[in-house]
Structure 1
Amino acid sequence: MSSEKKQSIASVTLAAIGVVYGDIGTSPLYTLRECLSGQFGFGVERDAVFGFLSLIFWLLVLVVSLKYVSYVMRADNAGEGGILTLMSLAGRNTGAKATAVLVIMGLIGGSFFYGEVVITPAVSVLSAIEGLEIASPNLNAWIVPMAIAVLTLLFVIQKHGTGIVGKLFAPVMMLWFLVLAGLGALSIINNPEVLHALNPYWALHFFMEYKQVSFFALGAVVLAITGVEALYADMGHFGKLPIRLAWFIVVLPSLVLNYFGQGALLLKNPEAIKNPFFLLAPDWALIPLLILATLATVIASQAVISGVFSLTRQAVRLGYLPPMRIVHTSEEESGQIYIPFINWLLYFSVVIVIVGFQHSSNLAAAYGIAVTGTMVLTSILCTTVAIKNWHWNRYVVLLVLVIMLCIDLSLFSANLVKVFSGGWLPLSLALVMFIVMTTWKSERFRLLRRMHEHGNSLEAMIASLEKSPPVRVPGTAVYMSRALNVIPFAMLHNLKHNKVLHERVVLLTLRTEDAPYVHNVRRVTIEQLSPTFWRVVASYGWRETPNVEEIFHRCGLEGLNCRMMETSFFMSHESLIIGKRPWYLRLRGKLFLMLQKNALRAPDQFEIPPNRVIELGTQVEI
């Protein structure tokens, strides 16, 4: 390997540490404290400390290292990852019924992510600022206002993009992991007995010793692997190799050293359970560590916010969410986007959560259900990909699935007891998002089917218009057509009411491919249907944003010259009326009307100059 390539891999690996591992990297702030806080009926006892440390270590090895880093990350779509990508891959070679089930599973997983993303910034930033209690108990009343102030600043700067802030991510997070490792190693040196917990015997002994209580304690252990989905979701930004190198060389050793360092401290001083992370540090280092922890949690929050922007764009392009304004904040990196509506909706949700729960321990009680639910769905979807797409041995893959589900379902079941202590929050948010996504997809399909049920043939109509043309006017008319071989509604109404047709007519269809990007060579396909009618099909990946001016530029390169200022864009504007339905479908119809009313209009969505757009209204019953 050349020195330049090694240097490139090193730099990308460093960047991956800054973005991918923010969430899981800040888990030591609160995980062991929640495990041994006394909520399960036992305190800081030797067997409990060894048991929890052993469980945390083997979860990091089995779930993160083996399942996600080594197995799930193999399932990529042109280098991209994430639960919706996995859903798309799993449904490629399955029957219609199986595909429908896989789609529902993928949407539930995506919905869980929306539920989780509200809690992550709140619990991370609160747990960091709670270090003030150690420095000065009198500052306790300022923790919530300071957390809100920090997060307010974070959400305000989103519109400027993460490019400038992103340059600080890697070195800050690298310093964070080095500090985690250093503090943990110093504590272990003072009490090396804690290393016995590396033996899986102590995890098994924990279940035998504490029996039924130990099962529910898994709900706290899972806090150590929150953020694991980011490894897969952010794969497209950095690639598999840098993410894997970052995990095995830096992140995993640092996390293990810190968790075991906290365990060593608790064995010597059980009273340190108040905040074992910050009490690892000497007194002089408390304030610098508090500042570093706050920066690390802000970075973890930023990574989650960027993730929800990416997931939202993907859902919009795949037709599961209504079109909304998406701002590109970088000329070079397509992944750096800003969605104003999602940004402020998320901000107000996070503030309400912080004010309502007040303390990170209360939020930790709500954390885990969404994460473990997504883990279960990821296991099933990835197994489908391995059998149907990779053609691996069915029995070997099913055996791997059983092993994964034994872990995932145990963690998920243990977290179900959190429903009444705060777990209802992510589940409620996930349910809302699932209803919104399924409503938009199904009702949009119903609307399009209703609009296209006139049954007229496009070819026959074009032949008739060429044979007996109406009055033709100069210029080019572009009709947005959602499907091929279907007469655009706007064209029917233009002929019916205006009784004219432009001298050149372009039927433009925009397609979203089952891939993140479409090569420019395949971007535009042109077909001449008659002397005056053309069909243009523009293909985009779900990580790309269509642009009409770019489409026209590529049409010009292929011989179809369209000047924007001589072109009129005809679009239909539907006024929707809900027909006779059962009450529950009527409620879904009203939700769709609200979403349709607030959706981004096509001219804004495709960056069409407003003075070139003509909208023709029609009333449609759905």
Structure 2
Amino acid sequence: MLGAIGVVYGDIGTSPLYAMKETFIGPHPLAVSQAHIFGVLSLIFWSLMLVVTLKYVFVAMRADNGGEGGSFALLALISRHLGDRRWAGGLVMMGVLATALFYGDAMITPAISVLSAVEGLTVVEARLAPLVLPIAIVILIGLFLIQARGTAKVGAIFGPVVLVYMATLATLGIWNIARHPDILGALSPHWAVLFFLQDPTIAFLAMGSVFLAVTGAETLYADMGHFGRRAVSYSWLLLAYPCLMLNYFGQGALLLGTPSAVENPFYLMAPEWARLPLVLIATAATVIASQAVISGAFSVTQQAVQLGFLPRLRITHTSARAAGQIYIPAVNWGLLAMVILLVLGFRESTKLASAYGIAVSGTMIITTLMLAVLIFQVWKWNRLLATLTIALFLVVDGIFFASNVTKILDGGWFPLVVAAVIFTVLTTWARGRTLMRQQVEQDAMPLGVFVKSVESIHRVGGTAIFLSSSAEGVPPALLHNLKHNQVIHERVLILTVHVRDVPHVPVAERVEAHAIGANFHRVTLHYGFMEEVDVPRDLALLGGCGAPFDMMRTSFFLGRQKLLPARERPGMALWREKLFAKLMQSSESAMEFFKLPTNRVVELGSQVRI
């Protein structure tokens, strides 16, 4: 639970820094009146109850794929149970779109969290305002610089720091509630209903800012695999939710007595002597929240690579013991550049808040739709119960999304543009790989026919391993090697790396081998989408293919395809074929990705038209 508190609740835990403030002085300002304060607090309480507690803790977190959660894990879970249904393609697109929206969220979360915390300096001393942007940028640069060293050591203190932060939230809340205990009346849902009845337009627009209190809920589900469902659930119900609500109600109590505190109710809750320490505690919490999102971006990217939605990227494991501790340079520096641009472009957390909600609310709607498929088709709940549950989730998510759409011109366009670009990249790579595989398989010779036709070819000592993306036919690299060198090795393995739609594959199921004859063997290595591929390590598990492997007498043959766009009958739009070709060029070499020994690799080129 302590680990879950440190990693999972950093994002949603920092929402009190800006959620109440944005609701009253954001793009659609509210008058600081008793009815509005009670209405907003009631909306926050019941939004967290319905979205986080009911939807994610009690429903979504039951949808674990081998213990893992998140959009790709949910997609893989549904796909495994339903197979190739007519609407399976649409389901895949929803999962990819949710992933694309996540990257927009991953860029905004560090920017708004750190900026809102550092802005507390202006509450301590107004003359410090010019230092807010430089300090925020320095903190963010430092955060991204330490990623290459790994976060295991820093992660050890995450839990205690967030625990101190949560205790601070609760203490400040209780202290202010004691002055105006009548604020607890806002727990009644009738205040939210009354708010909508009296000012329906204003209440609807306010929902876009109320939603800021819910951002980070997706993290509970996505990070479930790190700590387990029980730890994440209990830490939410017993600690995070009560502390957050005490703080929100404390801010409401402050506004009842001092309406002018709406300029920054979070920091003005504290007595003057405690505000600078509060800035330091809040900044530490926002750094942790940002770290969780960055680690999440690394994890999602690894899954996308393994499932075939992104080209191979350099992935470094920063911990010998924790498989989930990874570092991806391309993602790290790309996020840093975008985060700094966001801070310099928007300059204030208030302006960034307008860009924040739409990506998360869009992701939540997609999660609800995918859960609907799971509940109706896989779990097969009672129809009435399933319909009522999904209808409730869709109504709440729909209101949040519709309200956030009104902020597109105020900054909501940013995550949508980011999502559109990333969605294009993900789908282009997946489509291009499918077309290339189809073309290679179409041109490939059956392996059995090939083996019979080369019986008279001279055999040389050693083992040749030909990597093939297809489990059928003869790899082009084998044909090219025979054509140019006119020899075949004493033992030949056709090796395919297959990533299953489960997070982890048991070691006993890692290797699958079939003898074809004439000392030819077809071998498949199976991995989960959360696992690292290491071909030499796992070939040591192989038995039944003759003598053990001696790497000094083993050669790995790789095919390197050059893409030629088919102008007459292209498999996809010409601009997408050119984008796919660029992605192929930027892909990390198969030698490094599969951990092959550099001095035992031969690459043979070929041309492919799609």
CA positional deviation for 1:455: 4.6
Q: Tell whether 2:130 aligns with 1:141.
A: yes
Among 67, 72, 85, the alignment partner of 2:55 is 67
Deviations 1:178-200 (A, max 9, x none): 00000000100011011110010
Q: Secondary structure at the match of 2:355?
A: coil
Q: Tell whether 2:419 aligns with 1:430.
A: yes
Distance 1:520 1:39, change over 3 A: closer
CA positional deviation for 1:39: 4.0
Q: Tell whether 2:8 aligns with 1:28.
A: no
* Aligned counterpart, 1:260: 249
Among 447, 462, 470, the alignment partner of 1:483 is 470
Where in structure 2 are the equivalents of 1:378-393 lying within 5 Å?
A: 378-393=367-382
* Aligned counterpart, 1:76: 64
Q: Secondary structure at the match of 1:257?
A: helix
Q: Partners in 2 of 1:360 and 1:150 — Cα distance?
A: 15
Q: Partners in 2 of 1:41 and 1:225 — Cα distance?
A: 19
Counterpart contact for 1:183–1:280, Cα < 8 Å:
yes
Q: Partners in 2 of 1:515 and 1:38 — Cα distance?
A: 43
Counterpart contact for 1:552–1:561, Cα < 8 Å:
no
1:421 corresponds to which letter in structure 2? Answer: D
Q: Partners in 2 of 1:314 and 1:394 — Cα distance?
A: 33
Q: Partners in 2 of 1:604 and 1:259 — Cα distance?
A: 50
Counterpart contact for 1:112–1:426, Cα < 8 Å:
yes
Distance 1:38 1:74, change over 3 A: closer
* Aligned counterpart, 1:526: 513
Q: Partners in 1 of 2:489 and 2:394 — Cα distance?
A: 61
Q: Tell whether 2:41 aligns with 1:53.
A: yes
CA positional deviation for 1:552: 2.2
Q: Tell whether 2:290 aligns with 1:301.
A: yes
Q: Partners in 2 of 1:560 and 1:517 — Cα distance?
A: 29
Q: Partners in 1 of 2:475 and 2:125 — Cα distance?
A: 68
1:446 corresponds to which letter in structure 2? Answer: L
* Aligned counterpart, 1:107: 96
Q: Partners in 1 of 2:365 and 2:107 — Cα distance?
A: 20
Deviations 1:229-286 (A, max 9, x none): 0000000000000001100111000000000000000000001011100011111111
Deviations 1:163-208 (A, max 9, x none): 1100110000000000000000010001101111001010001111
Q: Partners in 2 of 1:277 and 1:28 — Cα distance?
A: 7
CA positional deviation for 1:41: 4.7
Deviations 1:312-350 (A, max 9, x none): 000100000111011111111111100010000000000
* Aligned counterpart, 1:10: none
Q: Tell whether 2:161 aligns with 1:164.
A: no
Q: Secondary structure at the match of 1:237?
A: helix
Q: Partners in 1 of 2:586 and 2:547 — Cα distance?
A: 35
Distance 1:17 1:340, change over 3 A: same
Q: Secondary structure at the match of 2:605?
A: strand
1:555 corresponds to which letter in structure 2? Answer: L
* Aligned counterpart, 1:8: none
Q: Secondary structure at the match of 2:530?
A: coil
Q: Partners in 2 of 1:475 and 1:560 — Cα distance?
A: 11
Q: Secondary structure at the match of 2:557?
A: strand
Among 190, 211, 215, the alignment partner of 1:201 is 190
Counterpart contact for 2:444–2:476, Cα < 8 Å:
no
Distance 1:64 1:581, change over 3 A: farther
Unaligned runs of 5+ in 1: 1-12
TM normalised by structure 1 equals: 0.96
TM normalised by structure 2 equals: 0.98
Structure 1 residue ranges, 4+ long, deviating more than 6 angstroms after superposition = none
Q: Tell whether 2:507 aligns with 1:515.
A: no
1:55 corresponds to which letter in structure 2? Answer: L
Q: Secondary structure at the match of 1:403?
A: helix
Distance 1:491 1:109, change over 3 A: same
CA positional deviation for 1:387: 2.1
Distance 1:297 1:41, change over 3 A: closer
Q: Tell whether 2:595 aligns with 1:595.
A: no
Aligned-residue Cα RMSD (Å) equals 1.3
* Aligned counterpart, 1:548: 535
Among 283, 300, 321, the alignment partner of 1:311 is 300
Q: Tell whether 2:89 aligns with 1:123.
A: no
**Bigger mean CA offset, 455-464 vs 511-520:** 455-464
Paired residues in the alignment total: 608
1:514 corresponds to which letter in structure 2? Answer: D
Q: Secondary structure at the match of 1:217?
A: helix
1:491 corresponds to which letter in structure 2? Answer: L
CA positional deviation for 1:395: 3.2
Q: Partners in 1 of 2:596 and 2:42 — Cα distance?
A: 59
* Aligned counterpart, 1:566: 553
Deviations 1:591-617 (A, max 9, x none): 101100000110010111111111111
Deviations 1:296-326 (A, max 9, x none): 0000000000001000000100000111011
Q: Partners in 2 of 1:385 and 1:279 — Cα distance?
A: 45
Q: Partners in 1 of 2:244 and 2:546 — Cα distance?
A: 59
Counterpart contact for 1:79–1:236, Cα < 8 Å:
yes
Identity across matched positions, percent: 46
* Aligned counterpart, 1:414: 403
**Bigger mean CA offset, 38-47 vs 335-344:** 38-47
Q: Partners in 2 of 1:93 and 1:581 — Cα distance?
A: 39
Q: Secondary structure at the match of 2:25?
A: coil
2:133 corresponds to which letter in structure 1? Answer: V
Counterpart contact for 1:314–1:543, Cα < 8 Å:
yes
Deviations 1:62-94 (A, max 9, x none): 110111001100000110000111111222343
* Aligned counterpart, 1:7: none
Counterpart contact for 1:176–1:292, Cα < 8 Å:
yes
Q: Partners in 2 of 1:270 and 1:432 — Cα distance?
A: 43
Q: Partners in 2 of 1:581 and 1:174 — Cα distance?
A: 62
1:97 corresponds to which letter in structure 2? Answer: R
Distance 1:307 1:41, change over 3 A: closer
Distance 1:483 1:582, change over 3 A: closer
Q: Partners in 2 of 1:574 and 1:514 — Cα distance?
A: 26
Distance 1:38 1:412, change over 3 A: closer
* Aligned counterpart, 1:506: 493
Distance 1:278 1:101, change over 3 A: same
Counterpart contact for 2:521–2:545, Cα < 8 Å:
no
* Aligned counterpart, 1:283: 272
CA positional deviation for 1:97: 2.0
Counterpart contact for 1:556–1:562, Cα < 8 Å:
no
CA positional deviation for 1:548: 1.6
Q: Partners in 1 of 2:196 and 2:69 — Cα distance?
A: 35
Q: Secondary structure at the match of 1:555?
A: coil
CA positional deviation for 1:391: 2.2
